[in-house]
Amino acid sequence: MKQKRRMARRRARRRRDMSSLQALAKALNHPVRVKALIIFAERTASPKEISEELGIEISNAVYHVRVLEELGLVDLVEEEAVRGSVVHFYKAVRRDPFDNPDWKRIDPKTRSAFSTQILETLLSDLAASLSAGTFDQRDDRHLSRTPLLLDEKGWRRVLRIQASALKSILEEQAAATGRMNGSREVAIRAMLGICLFELSPETAADE
């Protein structure tokens, strides 16, 4: 117990000694932490679940989750006793690192690496859904690709529209969870992908 308290004090001291910018940069400079942070932003998970999903050793997953906790990017939200041991479950402090005001100050290469991981995960979800035949199973599914021509004010307004839409969607998810509580309705597991990005000069010229 005393050892746990000492470890907790050391973690708290490290959090105080490191700016949010330094913490985010350190988290994003290792691919395992990037992938784990994406998972924690989506749901509560244990290091064991992280190790299984990423195909890494449990000790490796535990180490990187501990680093994320020390950096103040994930919090311990639940403990569960399983066969004589305690399983720890964590959740990201922020749903999206892009919401961090320090995000714009992160090195562009680091930001690009994080964006690449998110896109690879989304493309993997799409490929799995197409392969399983569930992507087009519903005739009301949505898929669109819309080239835009915006000025700076338009760009900022579209970003705000996206943020507002996402907030409303997450509120509806919470409402749906409440409606299904105790009901026999089968939950529809879905993935929402939203992005807005500037086209490369070559692509823009072809549009």
Could you read off the pLDDT of 20-55 as tens digits, one per residue?
667 777 777 788 898 898 888 888 999 999 999 999
d(CA 177, CA 166): 17
- State mean pLDDT over 113-129: 87
172: pLDDT strictly greater than 90: yes
Q: How far apart are CA 91 and CA 37, in angstroms?
A: 9
Residue 142 has pLDDT above 70, yes or no: yes
Lookup result for tokens 């105080």: 16
pLDDT over 70 at 189, yes or no: yes
> Which residues lie below 8 Å from residue 166, measured CB to CB, with a gap of 6+?
192, 194
* Paired tokens of 121: 């995960």
Helix (H) or strand (E) holding 33: helix 31-42
What pLDDT is attached to residue 1? 46
> Strand 74-82 and strand 85-92: pairing?
antiparallel
Mean pLDDT of the 174-178 span: 89
More confident residue, 15 or 178: 178
pLDDT of residue 205: 67
Question: Model confidence at 82, in pLDDT bands (50, 70, 90)?
Answer: confident
For the chain, the average pLDDT equals 83
Domain boundaries, the chain: 7-99, 141-207
pLDDT at 106 over 70: yes
- Show the CA angle centred on residue 76, arms to residues 75 and 82, nearest 5°: 155
Q: Are 67 and 50 in contact (CB under 8 A)?
A: no
CATH tag, 7-99: 1.10.10.10
The answer to whether 50 and 62 have CB atoms below 8 angstroms apart is: no
pLDDT at 170 exceeding the cut of 80: yes
